Chain A
Amino acid sequence: MRSVAVALAVARKDLASEWRTRELVPALAQFVVLALVIANFGFEVDSRTSAAIAPGVLWMTLVFAGLVAFGRAFAAEREQASLEAMLLTPASPAAIFAGKALAAALMLALCEAVLLPALGLFFGVSLTLEVVTAVLLATVGMAVLGCLFAAMVARIRARELLLPLLTLPLWIPFIVVGGQAVQVAMGAGGGSRAGSATGLLLDLDILFVVLTSLTARFVLED
């Protein structure tokens, strides 16, 4: 119970800080809209191609927005030396990590609330419950992995370079499976694979949430 309280306190603190400073979410929301505008001009989008192109644009945009969101999660803590203050309490490092990942995932979900309707607007694709479910499930797994590597590289000077190099290979399963689920839901693939892709995303989430919880302690402590 105490670990849950700690994780919620960490997430609440991060969300309150973001609400007051508005440093990350507005910039990310602008970024995702700009990415869609560029993609809209870059590809020849019409009613025949939109369902095939939109999922790729969605995942590319999400990946880059995620890298920024998760990178900031620990970089800001290191800059203001507050991560050490948190770790010098008896609170479990895994609970602290869970709180950070939860807040980062919620901030990315806020950007997705801008991204998905904008995608529907620019590409004329329908946003079904399956699309939203696939994106949210992928966000969970991407958040825990992104935050784990962000914590790992936060004390390194070249962290902006290292974070994508470490994170992107492990995000590939989410992009492949999530992409499949979204393509099917947008009518660009076989209908029977949507349910199994969503199930696989859930399995990947469980796997990486457990793995990152076990490794968080070693990453956060020196």
Chain B
Amino acid sequence: MSAVVASSLTQRFGSDLALDAVDLAVDSGEHLAVLGENGAGKTTLLRILATATRPTSGSLEIFGLNALVERRLLRARIGFVAHASGLYPALSATENLEFFRTLHGVDRGRVPEVLDLVGLAEVAHRPAGKLSRGAQQRLAIGRAVLHDPRLLVLDEPDASLDSGGADLLGRVMRGRTAIIATHDHALANRLCQRTLELRRGRVVGVPTRLRVVH
């Protein structure tokens, strides 16, 4: 069963065509890597899939719901890691997660669980602004899985992660449908079953099925 079905997704910014009629189908539990050079449209596509942006035209269904209409309902089922971490630098790692826990309406006990999962339990009380870039990225990933989403949308989550980053991504993606934009083909090979390549807003060829290495 398809978790995500996108049809003719098009995004224009003024006269610039960022996405040109992109079709996409991702099965439930499947991991898809979106590849492409800078400016290929990866971020635009992922932002639409995460319901952060509305496309200019096209349709998008996520878990059988119209994602352009049922956005708030779907946001409880989608976790998004964007380019910018979106953390509050003056608040500690715990306080950041506590805050988003309240917004998601999930149990208090989930915060220490997530801090353990992303390996930040030891620096949980340090202000997010004083954490290393990699630790901030781990915290952003933790925030994305705080509400146990069924779909994870990750925009270059490996950009600041250390050598253990791929393992962390593997852990958080396990059991979920995941769409990950990356420049790292080896990471895509390791984590995903399929890749989709974008060039100038268009899908190049057909999505490639990869050998999965666990």
Contact = CB atoms under 8 A, between A and B. Distances in A.
B172 to A, nearest CB: 17
Given A9-B99, A84-B52, A90-B72, A2 B105 contact: yes
B23 interface: no
Interface string A38-58: 000000000000000000000
Contacts of A16: 90-91, 95
B54 interface: yes
B90 A85 contact: no
Interface stretch (B14-22, B76-84, B163-171, B198-206): B76-84
B104 interface: yes
Contacts of A221: 71
A221 B54 CA distance: 10
A16 B99 CA distance: 11
Given A84-B52, A222-B53, A9 B84 contact: no
Contacts of B104: 89-91
Interface string A82-96: 101110111100001
Contacts of B147: 89
Interface in B54-107: 54, 71-73, 75-76, 78, 80, 82-91, 95, 99-100, 102-105
Given A86-B103, A89-B104, A13 B91 contact: yes
A81 B127 contact: no
B52 A88 contact: yes
A209 to B, nearest CB: 21
A80 interface: yes
Interface residues of A, number: 22
A interface majority secondary structure: helix
A21 B127 CA distance: 11
B179 to A, nearest CB: 15
B51 A9 contact: no
Interface string A189-222: 0000000000000000000000000000000011
B143 interface: yes
B100 A85 contact: yes
A6 interface: yes
A80 B89 contact: yes
B154 interface: no
Nearest to A16: B91
A13 B99 contact: yes
Interface of B: 50-54, 71-73, 75-76, 78, 80, 82-91, 95, 99-100, 102-105, 127, 143, 147
23 contacts: A2-B105, A6-B102, A9-B103, A13-B99, A17-B90, A20-B90, A20-B91, A20-B127, A21-B90, A81-B83, A81-B86, A82-B86, A85-B87, A85-B143, A88-B51, A89-B100, A89-B147, A90-B73, A90-B76, A90-B104, A96-B103, A221-B71, A222-B53
Given A17-B91, A81-B86, A90-B75, 19 more contacts: A6-B102, A9-B103, A13-B95, A13-B99, A17-B90, A21-B90, A80-B88, A81-B84, A82-B88, A84-B52, A85-B82, A85-B87, A85-B143, A89-B75, A89-B76, A89-B147, A91-B103, A91-B104, A222-B54
Interface of A: 2, 5-6, 9, 13, 16-17, 20-21, 80-82, 84-86, 88-91, 96, 221-222
In the A-B complex, the 9 residue pairs with the closest CB atoms: A81-B84, A85-B86, A89-B103, A9-B102, A91-B103, A20-B90, A17-B90, A81-B86, A90-B76
